[in-house]
A and B are shown apart, each in its own frame.
Chain A
Amino acid sequence: MATSDLTAVFDRDAEGSRPVALTLLSGALAALFLSPLVWVVANALDADGALELLTAPTTVEVFVNSGFLVAGVTLGSLVVGVPAAYLTVRTDMPFKRPLTVLLAMPLVIPSYIGAFAFVSAFGPRGTVQDFLVPLGVESLPSIYGLAGTVLVLTLYTYPYVFLTTRAALKSMDTTLVDAARTLGLGRREAFRRVTLPQIRPAIAAGALLVALYALSDFGTPSVMRYSVFTSVIYSVYGDVLGGGRDLAAMLSLQLVVVTTVILAIESRVRGSGVTAESPNARATPLRLGRWRYVAVGACLFVAALAMAVPLGVLTNWLLVAGSPTNSALAFEFGYVTNSVAVAAAAALFAGLAALPIAYLAARSDRTLPSLFERASYVGYAVPGVVMGLALVYFGARYGGDLYRNGLILLPLLVFAYVVRFLPQAVGSSRASVEQVSGRLPEAARTLGRSPTEAFRDVTLPLVAPGVAAGAALVFLTTMKELPATLMLRPAGFDTLVTRVWTAYESGYVGQAALPAFVLLFVSALSMLLILRMEGYDVE
């Protein structure tokens, strides 16, 4: 079906020429995903008083704040994600399978729920503080502000680095490491000179996702009382009569500019990567000796910190659910199927769209494909509210009655998800394509396979884990998305996350906890499926 159409597009690739069809396809996709930005740019041009706002002292301050936040969270995710990936793939650490699952799990928790949980646990007069008072601890260091925000965001975004790095380590050509060791290099030296260059693109791809998430997130910094650029966007957006939508669009463009800077940094850091001639070769794992238990402890600590706090707080909400319940908030199974359906659709389309874009960008050293790939990242930086408005504009303008009666809202919603989260699929797809040497499909060609067959039988199986992992990331992120979902859902269409919002904002925390738990449970199941997928299994 779609796969055969896709493979046909890759037709002449194995002969080393750049297929025009593929370039056209990537270009068309990039243009499609950039289209909502037309509205953002058009509105930004209408913005009055934009210059005053941009140069106001507080705007400069929040801009700097955003910079610190992005740097801190990115660094934190690397420090946690890369060693965790290495430990779970390349060492003889015990309990690797359960630990891998645990370490990936924080990704299923919406970071704003994590933020609520940390504030109610570690805030002034929070649970932990109350516990410590009898022990003579008068006050904890404040959870609010930069440090707390970095901590919370790191705990819920490091899995991006963890998962992309793991995928690279798993499909890495370990014979190179063995060769380096035979040539007398020490373990550390072999890691630095052989392993790192091979997995660096994947690490960079994960770090890029983390950086852009930290840049465009509104919920977590607002709960943690740390003012960032998105806080200002949210405020001006509320100033309807002062042209709030235009100013919000303008500030969103600022975020896009920052995004391009981050993309440029990532391009420099990524390096060209090293391609594998014999992927999936079994290598001897690193023996940790007595350090094995320290490693297990460290992994457990990180996962427990990220998971136990929100689970504890949600459980507490459920227990205090003796507080009034509201019949309007009764749980329905339909919320689960709605959530899963839109998230699965978004994941599918993101995966399909990511493959040609990532493949071409990885296989070609020309500027154009690389531009298309970079373009796919731009939508990620635009806050959900602004992206939602852009699609509302196009839907209302060109949708006619189909818009008024809500029939095109679901397709628009899925499109919004794909535009916002496509980079998660592109990043890991690209990293996996880069690891596959072009000589492998060539060998298949010399053995008499057609280009399509060579792609289907050789290249696709090797890149499939990366693409699937990317699509899975899109699935998990979509399950958690709130602002665009609220704006674009048809009347009466509810997902788990909208139910959490509805109950929470009315103060029915007990009834917010139930859909939140179901959301975590369904996402966790999906995560297990992801980790079990072929080529992605835990050894």
Chain B
Amino acid sequence: MNDSSASRRRYLAGLGTAVTAGLAGCGSLLGGDGTPTGTDTGDEEDPDVGQIGSGREGREAPGGTPIAELPDLSGELDVYSGRGEALVGPLFSELEDIYPDFSVRPRYDGSTDLVNRILTEGSNAAADVFYSVNAGALGALAAEGRTLELPERVTSVVPDAYQDAEGRWIGTSGRARTIPYNTDRYDESDIPTDVLAFPDDADLAGSTGWAPVYGSFQAFVTAMRVLNDRETTLSWLNGMQDAGVQQYGDEFAIAQAIADGELGAGFANHYYTLRVLDARPDAPLDIAFTEGDAGAIFNVAGASVVDTAGEDRELAENFVRHLLSAEAQEYFATTTFEYPMIPGVEPVQPGSIDLPTIDQLNPPEGLDLSQLADLGPTLEVMREAGLNV
């Protein structure tokens, strides 16, 4: 035990060095050179150690609580992850390297698939933690009564707006709804600041894109249904179709189509634009925001402790707390370009983009993210508008 904690201290010291040094000029998203993370050799000079949080060139050391100050993790944890292995796999491995007695058994699938799976498995689900890409799936699992209340030591870290009021789930990183647009065709002032004005905007007609089957878009329509009403939503959907909106399968494709000039503008989560710009810094692409309406909702990826955690409950809670550590938050900001959930870690802005910080955003008042789980009526109104969802 002494041995491992001594080596852990050395490891963390190395990690801290890496964070403050900020491995400069890394081409890879992980900040490494593509080599797998070495196991802990106790060598403080090993540049491969501690890729997490070693982010991008010129980043300040992140604020928040570092892993070194959090309770140790030990035991085996079953995580049902709707977030992709490419993103969270390295993070899990990193935690396993830091804590020799800790291991994660991840099961990766779509977030909704995993909720359906937990519900189907009933009391024999293997899940300790459910990790989701959106609040809708978290809210659904909570509404079905399959989550345990998170302790104050976890919930106190994140602003109230980004977690469930009853502590049944918590946001771990955020994504803003945006209007990506092609800068060769429009100025920012050409993009309406009211989402309801889009169908009647003659400038945009025939050159906007949306992805009706994509979860984040359906969350946006759900928000419109909740904030405005069903009729407004129906006429907005119909109006957009009358204005010749183009249909896409996902929002990354929309951001790319706008960069290519195939579209003029569209509806997409903020990080798709950042990902395109990260790969193509000169693309004629920027983002605009609507103000205080459904088009400006701020959704989160997050986690909950599943009611089948049993004796792993405390481990599960501590694990979720680790997702909110300084290093993990820095990792999300620098790899997926998401918004960190804790004050003190800034979002990343590749290219020439001027991304507002979390407190400069203008999300709608009076929307509880848990309400985004109510998808049924949304699908109905979308079908009534003739969309095949």
Contact = CB atoms under 8 A, between A and B. Distances in A.
A389 B86 contact: no
Interface stretch (A79-87, A171-179, A320-328): A320-328
A506 B121 CA distance: 27
B373 A397 contact: no
B40 to A, nearest CB: 16
Which of A225, A234, A235: most chain B Cβ within 10 A? A235
B121 A396 contact: yes
Interface size range on B against A: 35 or more
B388 A392 contact: no
A507 B34 contact: no
Interface in B354-389: 373-376, 379, 383, 386-389
Contacts of B108: 486, 502
A239 interface: yes
Interface string A332-366: 00000000000000000000000000000000000
A389 B120 contact: yes
A22 to B, nearest CB: 36
Interface string B90-132: 1001000000000001111110110111011110111000000
B30 interface: yes
B260 interface: yes
Contacts of A59: 383
A486 B113 CA distance: 10
Given A225-B249, A239-B375, A324 B117 contact: no
A197 interface: no
A192 interface: no
A486 B374 CA distance: 26
Interface stretch (B137-145, B155-163, B226-234, B315-323): B137-145
Contacts, number: 144
Contacts of B30: 326-327
A406 interface: yes
Interface string A124-136: 1100000000000
A151 B168 CA distance: 48
Contact of B376 (A125, A231, A242, A329): A242
A245 B262 contact: no
Given A58-B383, A326-B86, A405-B126, A124 B28 contact: no
B36 interface: yes
B125 A396 contact: yes
A507 to B, nearest CB: 7
A400 B123 CA distance: 10
A239 B379 contact: yes
B375 A238 contact: yes
Interface in A206-261: 222-223, 225, 227, 231-232, 234-242, 244-245
Contact of B213 (A222, A241, A508): A222
Interface string B36-79: 11000000000000000000000000000000000000000010
Interface size range on A against B: 35 or more
A404 interface: yes
A403 interface: yes
A448 interface: no
A488 to B, nearest CB: 10
Contact of A507 (B89, B116, B252, B387): B252
A273 interface: no
B215 A238 contact: yes
Contacts of A242: 375-376, 379
Which of B116, B374, B375: most chain A Cβ within 10 A? B116
Interface in A169-211: none
Contact of B389 (A235, A385, A507): A235
A61 B252 CA distance: 28
A491 interface: yes
Contacts of B34: 325, 327
Contacts of B374: 241
Contacts of B85: 328-329, 502, 506
Which of B137, B144, B388: most chain A Cβ within 10 A? B388
Given A245-B120, A404-B126, A240 B87 contact: no
B122 A396 contact: yes
Contacts of B121: 392-393, 396, 403
A506 B257 CA distance: 18
Nearest to A228: B388
B215 A506 contact: no
Interface of A: 56-59, 61-62, 124-125, 222-223, 225, 227, 231-232, 234-242, 244-245, 323-330, 385, 389, 392-393, 396-397, 399-400, 403-406, 486-487, 491-492, 502-503, 505-508
30 contacts: A58-B388, A223-B249, A232-B388, A238-B112, A238-B379, A239-B375, A239-B379, A240-B373, A241-B373, A244-B116, A244-B376, A324-B27, A326-B29, A327-B34, A327-B35, A327-B37, A329-B85, A392-B120, A393-B121, A396-B122, A399-B124, A404-B125, A404-B126, A486-B110, A487-B109, A491-B78, A491-B105, A502-B85, A505-B84, A507-B275
Given A58-B388, A238-B379, 8 more contacts: A62-B388, A232-B389, A234-B213, A238-B375, A240-B116, A240-B141, A491-B126, A502-B84
- Shortest beta-carbon contacts, A-B, top 4: A242-B376, A227-B388, A506-B86, A328-B89
